[in-house]
Structure formats: C-alpha cells, structure tokens
Amino acid sequence: MKVKIAAVGLAHPFEVGYSEADSLLLTTVKTLKKFGADCESVGVVMHDLETVKLAAERLSATECDVLMICIATWSEDHHLLDLLSYVDKPVILRAYPARDTGSLCCAHQIGAVFTDIGKKYEFIYGYADDAECAERAVKIASPYSLITAMSRVRVGAIGGRVKGMTEIAYDEFAIKEKLGSRVVNIDESEMTERVAEMTDTEAEALLCEKSEILAPCKVTSDRAAMLESIKYYGALRALSDEYALEALSVKCYTKYMGKVCLGYSILAEEGVVASCEGDVTSALAMKMLYELSGKPVNNTDLLYLDEEKNTILFAHCGSSGFSIAGGEIELCPVRLAECGVCSRFVPKTGKVTVLNLCGHGDKFRMAVMVGEAIPSGMEFPGNPTVIKFDRPVEEINRDIMAHGIGHHWMVGYGDFSEELARFAEVQNIKFYRL
C-alpha cells in the first residue's frame, strides 16, 4: 500500500516568506517521497479564490488519501474553508519554524476554526526537510490510505463458515460500515466444479508453471495429493480473478483440510490473502496487515502461554506465504486429517503485530498486540510463531477473556499498532491494545 498525499501551499502575498512558499512546498514533497510516500505537489500556493479553485481542480485529479496544507506564512483562514467546499479530504496542517513568517500562528488559527466547524485535522511542525516530520506524516496518512484500500476490497466467502464456530459468523453490514469492504458469497460448488473440470495433465502443467515458487520446498506428500492441491489452487485463482477478490476464506475444516492449504500459500505470494475455516472477518484482518506490511500474513490460533519466558505460541495448520518462512518449507500431509498437502515451516523472527477482528453491529471490535517473534522449533505442526511480549502474558490472557476477543489472530511483520488504532478511531471501531 502506497501512502498517497497531495500537498498544496498557503501564503499571503503581504507576508514575509511568500516568495519562498513554492520552494518550501517542493522541499516538503521531496522529503516525503524519500520516506516512501506517494506524494505530489499540485503546484499551487493559495492566496485568493482563483488559486483556491485551481488547487481544488488539481487536487481532484490526484486521488490522494490525505491533503497536506503547507503553511508558508500567516494567511487568511477562509481560503481553506473555500477549499474544503470543493475537496473535503483528511487534512494535515504543516507549519514551519520561522520568527517572522507567521506560519505557526496561522496553523493555530486554522486549528481553532476547524475545531469550531467540526473538521478533524492532524498537525506537523518542523523544517521542510526534517526526516522525523516526514516519517510522522507517513504514519499519520497510513490509516487513511488503509481506509481507501479496504473500501475497495472484495472478500470471497466460499461455502460459509465452519459449523460450531458461531464466534466467526461474519456480519456483512458491519464489515461494510466499519471496514468498507464487500463480502462476495460463493457456493463451494463453484470451487469444487472447477477442481473436477481440471485434468491431471492440466494439473501437471500448473505445477510446472509454479515450479519456481515450489522449488525450495521439500515435498513429502504423494503425487496424487500434490495434483489435487494444485487443482484447488487453480480453482481459487480462477474465482479470485472472476470476482476480483483480494481476500477469501474457505470453510476448510474438516472437508477441505489439506486440499486448499497449498493454494493459500501460493495465493499469498500473488497478493491474495486467505483465512481458514470460513472466517471472513479474519481474512480482512489479514488484508489490513498485508496492506500495511507488504508481506504475507500468518493466520493463527492462540495456543499456549509460557509464563516463565513470557511468550505465547500462535499457530495453525500450515497455509502461510512461503516468503515469511524462516527456514525449510515442507509440503506434507496436514495434521489431524493426515492427508493432502500443507505448507509446514517456522516463520521468520522479528517485530510483529498480532491482530484480531470480530463481533457484530456496534460490538464490532479490534484487538492488537505487538511483540517479538523469536527463534523456535516446530512447536506445532504448521506455521508456529512464538512471540515474546513486554507485558505479562497472564495479563494479556485475562484481557482477551474480559473483552470477549476471538480465537483467530493474524500475525504481520512490523509494528502497526498506531496505524490500526487510528484506523479504528476514524472508523468508529472498538479498539483494545493488549
């Protein structure tokens, strides 16, 4: 996910610093680009109604997620009121240190006006080339870019949810209201019919097509299981293309265990996230972490607390993307069913965000914890991740129960707790930081 920021200048021709407003705007944009933002200047410094209209016209063409107002000098605040009548976007007010320009006091003035009209805003103060300011701008803008990204997501619910997991029943209206995404309900026969239509010869060809991504894997499943699994991948790929899905979930337990797992792993490397057991809401949690991190996300259950080491074991059967593997990948029969193919490996170490989404209506809620994935063995036959936390794990465990948080946890690489907290605030989602 690219953070999209459009920058526009604001200055008064009578004030000191007006002649430097253009260069200040360009330096701000250049610095933001260095830190990963898809940022562009609309090339306008607003100072009257005509320049406001020109800025609005150019801003409308940018498809930006956030508007940055680069305040070069004191200026008349009504220019921003006029701008918002044409382009009403989330706003960052950007002020600059100077004794004689009035940049900072203008920002304070605008902040007061925005507060009185109920317009939310963010604020950054510092030099145009300041690295910390640029990093903060990207962090501030990320939740808004995530809101845009999630509003365009279609998630496939293939076959409904697993029997006996009422907790994961998905609320299409809450998902649309809180996340912006749309659920596409797909009968499992659409998947199985495609599997049945693919011949073994076609499956062999598809395996050959995926040979590069599968080459590093140690294969202990038999050939028949590999052919069946690649057929399921082909079916899921076709459904993803047909319905323009960026996320999906199959009611895998127990009927499709070991059948869809390999497909999930390959899809993860192709940018389609997939959750287990028909948990559509968790598929969207995976998508959020994928957008923020740019890496495959590990779909897990919270399984075991080690109070002495202050760690928690998270794991599931084995369907995560190969690129987060920390070592050998084995394509082997899935646990319990002891058949088919799953992708068994221990994921990489590093800072991780662990995310849960669950609930319905106004009880829709988000829980987040951040820890360090540490070296471990195959603690559970699948994709086990042992995470060490700063907070006592007994307290985390108690809070999970106290707030009625679900049992599926999505693990993404990096610390995105602030971005998710802000996303939840803007989208009016109950948020728990564990």
Do 145 and 201 lie in one domain? The reply is no
What pLDDT was estimated at residue 302?
Answer: 98
Q: Please, what sign has the CA dihedral across residues 332, 338, 340, 346?
A: negative
Q: What would the mean pLDDT of 180-201 be, rounded to a whole number?
A: 98
Q: How many CB atoms lie within 10 A of CB 368?
A: 23
Do 126 and 163 lie in one domain? The reply is no
Do 142 and 160 lie in one domain? The reply is no
pLDDT in tens, 318-364: 999 999 999 999 999 999 999 999 999 999 999 999 999 999 999 99
What pLDDT was estimated at residue 70?
Answer: 98
**E strand or H helix that includes residue 386:** strand 385-388
Query: What is the CA angle 40-46-49, rounded to 5?
Result: 130
**E strand or H helix that includes residue 218:** strand 218-219
Do 211 and 248 lie in one domain? The reply is yes
Do 139 and 158 lie in one domain? The reply is no
CATH number for the domain harbouring residue 183: 3.20.14
The CA-atom distances, in angstroms, between 35 and each of 70, 131, 140, 312 are 18, 8, 13, 33
Q: What would the mean pLDDT of 101-119 be, rounded to a whole number?
A: 97
Of 225, 412, 144, 406, the closest CA to residue 301 belongs to 406
What pLDDT was estimated at residue 22?
Answer: 95
What pLDDT was estimated at residue 130?
Answer: 95
- Boundary of a domain, candidates 150, 166, 191: 150
The answer to whether 154 and 246 have CB atoms below 8 angstroms apart is yes
Do 211 and 328 lie in one domain? The reply is yes
Do 225 and 328 lie in one domain? The reply is yes
Burial 379-412 (b: 16+ CB within 10 A, else e): bbbbbbbbbebeeebeebeebbeeeebbbbbbbb
- Boundary of a domain, candidates 150, 173, 202: 150
One-character DSSP codes across 134-202? HHHHHHHHHHHHHHHHHHT-EEEEES---TT-GGG---HHHIIIII--EEEEE-HHHHHHHHHHS-HHH
Do 372 and 408 lie in one domain? The reply is yes
- Boundary of a domain, candidates 150, 170, 194: 150
**pLDDT surpassing 90 at residue 209:** yes
- Mean residue pLDDT of the chain comes to 97
Do 300 and 389 lie in one domain? The reply is yes
Q: What would the mean pLDDT of 198-217 be, rounded to a whole number?
A: 97
What pLDDT was estimated at residue 396?
Answer: 98
| pTM given for the model | 0.93
Do 35 and 130 lie in one domain? The reply is yes
Confidence of residue 98 (pLDDT cuts 50, 70, 90): very high
Do 122 and 184 lie in one domain? The reply is no
Q: What would the mean pLDDT of 33-59 be, rounded to a whole number?
A: 95
What pLDDT was estimated at residue 305?
Answer: 98
Q: Please, what sign has the CA dihedral across residues 231, 236, 237, 243?
A: positive
Domain with 138 in it:
3-150
What pLDDT was estimated at residue 2?
Answer: 87
What pLDDT was estimated at residue 419?
Answer: 96
Confidence of residue 154 (pLDDT cuts 50, 70, 90): very high
CATH number for the domain harbouring residue 76: 3.40.50.10940
Question: How many structural domains are present in the chain?
Answer: 2
What pLDDT was estimated at residue 1?
Answer: 86
Of 266, 283, 263, 278, the closest CA to residue 155 belongs to 283
Q: Please, what sign has the CA dihedral across residues 165, 265, 181, 118?
A: positive
The answer to whether 340 and 228 have CB atoms below 8 angstroms apart is yes
Do 165 and 62 lie in one domain? The reply is no
What pLDDT was estimated at residue 151?
Answer: 97
Confidence of residue 161 (pLDDT cuts 50, 70, 90): very high
**pLDDT surpassing 90 at residue 386:** yes
Report the SS3 class of residue 337: coil
What pLDDT was estimated at residue 17?
Answer: 93
pLDDT in tens, 262-303: 999 999 999 999 999 999 999 999 999 999 999 999 999 999
Q: What would the mean pLDDT of 215-239 be, rounded to a whole number?
A: 97
